[in-house]
Structure 1
Amino acid sequence: MEDSFAELKRELYELMQRMRRSRVASPTPEGATPLEARTVMAVAEARRIGETRPGRIAERAHTTPSALSQTFKSLEEKGLIERHRAGGDCRGVAVVLTPEGERLAAEAKRLHSKHMDEVMAYVGEEDVRSLVRILRKVADFHDGKGGDGACA
């Protein structure tokens, strides 16, 4: 029993590492890195809900503020975003997509959606539902909603 559990744990860890590495290979529009694609999609989504501050965009793009700063610089150089002072806060910055940035965000979203459709078709709806149910339990555990809330 102990060996079986240890083997299952090892396999789960290896699969998680494999998925983390393959994330880089996710489809992205030509001329954009995966982080740039995630960032323009995050800027588009943030604008939709009225929150275009870099901190919120970093959360939505699943990156750190320092990595986001470098990505913003690259996106600005490519003419995909513009940064402006936000309201009356001289330290605050708001980020907006240029028309070309809007096109890139739409293409990134289309590619991401197509990729997810392909993954779901390959895995099958029943297994995807099971996966979502299980991942929700894992996320709840890490959010402190499962077990004793301990998370190493």
Structure 2
Amino acid sequence: MAWPADGETLVAELARFRRLALVEGGPGPALRLAEVLGIDPCRVGQRLAGFTSAPDLTAVQRLLDGERVLMDLDVLFEPALQLDPLALLREQARRVGGVVAVWPGGIGDGRATYSVAGRFDRYDAALADAIVLRAQPVVFPDDVPFTMERIP
């Protein structure tokens, strides 16, 4: 495996199949993939901060229109928004031809979670048709910054 060729291959796969890739363990891989794409990542929290009241799903989708690398997703778990963050990200991937999103919670056993049981912002959903990228340290510039797991 070598970088950036493996990043380009992943980006092509995401675009071809309009898939979602969730990054676990920090934003490093998403930032490196944004470089491959030649774009700046979208910081969702900053984008939504401009609203004076809770936006609806359509407003959030409009705000994210065309964005392929998403970070700072914590705001999507705010109960006042009444969103399903994973469904929103999947739909975004279908609309723009693949999305890389830095998941702010945990991923394991085929599930994506956020927060802890009993909290108002708890989220737990099954993962399907997604790629999980787990950050890993790099020593050389051509090291791939993640391991990859395909979830059918």
TM-score normalised according to structure 1 size: 0.27
Greater share of residues in helix: 1
Of structures 1 and 2, the one with the larger relative CO (CA 8 A, separation 6+) is: 2
TM-score normalised according to structure 2 size: 0.27
Larger-gyration structure (1/2): 1
